[in-house]
């Protein structure tokens, strides 16, 4: 199987604070990766570095064989690599369906990557909430 994502010894910082130390990982075609750890362990920083929201001081990130280290985040999105944030960044007055459509429109993803039917196939629980507003579906 082909390597889809290769992270090779990345070191990332917030200002002068060194957060990631030589982090490496590989995700092959068909695999699913779960990154776990306590609060502050660097999980979010790792993902932000992979999509180039944070540019590593050293190390490399390859997506589908292409070195994407240092490119702009919108370019990683155009390649098909994105980050779903852990917080609820949705528009409360819009329906779940409208939020999903807006996400695709604003994210400028490549055509054919996903459609609503595919989203509902992966996340069938969304289908039942599709016409409810985001405000009514948020559970805290």
CB atoms within 10 A of CB 135: 12
Whether 50 and 20 have beta carbons less than 8 Å apart is answered as no
Are residues 29 and 68 located together in one domain of the fold?
A: yes
User: What string of H, E and C letters represents the secondary structure of the chain?
Assistant: CCEEEEEEEEEEEECCEEEEEEEEEEEECCCCCCCCCCCCCCHHHHHHHHCCCCCCCEEEEEECCEECCCCCHHHHHHHCCCCCCCCCCCCCCCEHHHHHHHHHHHHCCCCCCCCHHHHHHHCHHHHHHCCCEHHHHCCC
Are residues 108 and 53 located together in one domain of the fold?
A: no
Tens of pLDDT, residue by residue, the chain (140 residues): 899 999 999 999 999 999 999 999 999 998 988 899 999 999 999 999 999 999 999 999 999 999 999 999 989 988 888 887 666 667 788 888 888 887 665 555 555 566 788 888 888 888 888 888 877 655 54
Q: What is residue 56's predicted lDDT score, i.e. its pLDDT? A: 97
Cα separation values, 80 from 57, 99, 133, 140, Å: 23, 19, 28, 30
- Expressed as residue numbers, the domain containing 32 is 3-79
Q: Is residue 87 part of a domain?
A: no
Q: Is residue 29 part of a domain?
A: yes
Are residues 121 and 59 located together in one domain of the fold?
A: no
Q: Which two tokens stand for residue 11?
A: 């070191």
Are residues 23 and 70 located together in one domain of the fold?
A: yes
Q: Is residue 28 part of a domain?
A: yes
Of 52, 79, 106, the last residue of a domain is 79
Q: What is residue 119's predicted lDDT score, i.e. its pLDDT? A: 82
Number of domains in the chain: 2
What would you report as the CA-atom Rg of the chain, rounded to the nearest whole angstrom?
Answer: 17
Are residues 108 and 55 located together in one domain of the fold?
A: no
Q: Is residue 91 part of a domain?
A: no
Q: What is residue 86's predicted lDDT score, i.e. its pLDDT? A: 65
Q: Is residue 8 part of a domain?
A: yes
């Amino acid at each position: 199987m082909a390597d889809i994502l290769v992270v090779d010894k990345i070191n990332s910082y917030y200002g002068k604070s060194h957060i990631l130390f030589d982090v490496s990982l590989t995700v092959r075609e068909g695999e699913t990766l779960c990154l776990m750890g306590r609060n502050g362990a660097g999980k979010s920083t790792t993902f932000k570095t992979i999509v180039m929201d944070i540019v590593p001081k050293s190390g490399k990130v390859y997506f589908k064989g292409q070195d994407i280290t240092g490119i702009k985040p919108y370019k990683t999105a155009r390649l098909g690599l994105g980050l779903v944030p852990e917080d609820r960044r949705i528009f409360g007055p819009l329906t779940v369906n409208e939020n999903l459509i807006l996400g695709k429109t604003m994210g400028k993803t490549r055509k054919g990557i996903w459609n609503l039917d595919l989203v509902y196939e992966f996340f069938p629980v969304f289908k039942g909430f599709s016409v409810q507003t985001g405000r009514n579906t948020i559970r805290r």
